Structure 1
Amino acid sequence: MRIEPGHPSRAGAVVARALEAVGHAAGHAGWVVSGYAQADRFGARGRNFVFDPAGTYTHRTIFVGNNVNLGVRPTLMATRAEIHIGNNVVFGPGVTVRGGNHRFDVVGEFIVNVDDSMKRDSDDRGVRIEDDVWVGGGATILHGVVISRGCVVGAGAVVSRSVPPYSVVAGNPARPVRGRFTLTQALAHERALYPLAQRLGAHDLAHLAD
């Protein structure tokens, strides 16, 4: 609730601002309490995990690494498969990640009545988002997709196919528009951030131009 200070009374304006501040604090407190209540329901979560309690989650099927921010009001849903998110990942507002799909080809059933018991394995293939990824606001990532290390997904993109490392993708359906780095830059980035055993090599990044 917002209370607008009245012009005639300075004292009234001060009181109104104080009441407004209390209202905001109470709302924030509720947001924090809701967040704490939800946090341990995720399948796994790492350090420095930021998420909006007002988002939509199938908590037990979502596994999140360290230093992850899921942005404002995301939707992450997977009823029979899993969503795995690596380390150092950030979402813009309103991102959707769907680890499954609805069947619409069941003869003799209305679509609304088709439930998980009628699904095939191919209907729920999960999603994996690897380390160092930025997903732009309003993007949608569909089941079966791997967003590889270092990728950028453009705002509003609909990603239905897996994306190779350090790619920038955009559009519907999403397609690579360029590399985030040149090959030389990507190799230097790998050396700076990852131990030898975890680094991607030139053969993993052959799609990047120099």
Structure 2
Amino acid sequence: MFAKLKQLRDLYLVKFKWRHYDIGKGFHAGARVRLWAKDKITIGRNFYIGRDSQIEANCIIGDNVIFGNKTAVVGRYDHCFQEVGVPVRLASQIRDNDYRWKGLMETTVIGDDVWVGYGSIIMSGVTIQDGAIIAAGSVVTRDVEAYSIYGGCPAKKIKDRFETEADRIKHIGLLAK
């Protein structure tokens, strides 16, 4: 019974609440998830986004991606903080129709087979390549290499995801089948 309710909730989110975004099959969102983009959000197949998470930037997400709880993709330039004589709180913001400052063309790209750990923040305009893992609590401000583990604030490469190149190649080959 509970599984059916989850499926119905996810169907409602995809087909009604977030219908203007392109969301693939196998989507699941935990409680209190928010999605918003100036232009587009595209999500591949089998995407899971944990509770209390949000995407508030243009974003393209691949297949088989998992976002832990309390994760976020946020805009780097959501408010025009350089408007002379205007407090940041009152400055123009990316949600305004006439916003013409930085950030309008930024899109965050997250490849296939990516895991974003609990409480991580990804800034807009970043590319996280296939197979990467973002450690819990990280702040991603720059691009992330494929099949690597990044962590920290700002996030830096910790190590490769697989211990050997042979394991990485085997993993990629098995996913391609």
TM-score band, normalised by shorter chain? 0.7 to 0.9
Q: Give the Cα separation in 1 of the matches to 2:87 and 2:176.
A: 50
Quick one: which amino acid aligns to residue 189 of structure 1?
H
The equivalent residue for 1:5 is none
SS of 1:144 mapped into structure 2:
coil
Quick one: which amino acid aligns to residue 104 of structure 1?
F
Q: 1:191 to 1:173 in 2, by over 3 A?
A: same
The equivalent residue for 1:192 is 174
Q: Number of aligned residue pairs: give it.
A: 165
Q: Give the Cα separation in 1 of the matches to 2:167 and 2:23.
A: 31
Give the number of the structure with larger relative contact order, counting CA–CA contacts within 8 Å between residues 6 or more apart.
Answer: 2
- Aligned-residue offset at 1:73: 1.5
Structural RMSD (CA): 2.3
Q: Give the Cα separation in 2 of the matches to 1:35 and 1:67.
A: 12
Q: Structure 1-normalised TM-score? A: 0.70
Structure with the largest fraction of helix: 1
The equivalent residue for 1:73 is 52
SS of 1:189 mapped into structure 2:
helix
- Aligned-residue offset at 1:77: 0.3
- Aligned-residue offset at 1:92: 1.0
- Aligned-residue offset at 1:119: 3.8
- Which among 46, 62, 74 is matched to residue 24 of structure 2? 46
- 2:36 matches 1:58: yes
The equivalent residue for 2:61 is 85
Q: Give the Cα separation in 2 of the matches to 1:105 and 1:149.
A: 35
Query: Structure 2 unaligned runs (5+)?
Result: none
Quick one: which amino acid aligns to residue 28 of structure 2?
V
- Which among 131, 137, 145 is matched to residue 118 of structure 2? 137
Q: Give the Cα separation in 1 of the matches to 2:7 and 2:31.
A: 8
**Superposed structure 1 runs of 4+ greater than 3 Å apart:** 31-37, 121-124
- 2:165 matches 1:183: yes
Q: 1:53 to 1:36 in 2, by over 3 A?
A: farther
Q: 1:52 to 1:99 in 2, by over 3 A?
A: same
Structure with the largest fraction of strand: 2
Q: Give the Cα separation in 1 of the matches to 2:9 and 2:64.
A: 24
Q: Give the Cα separation in 1 of the matches to 2:100 and 2:53.
A: 25
- Aligned-residue offset at 1:33: 6.3
Larger Rg: 1
Query: Structure 1 unaligned runs (5+)?
Result: 1-24, 196-210
In percent, how many aligned pairs have the same letter?
29
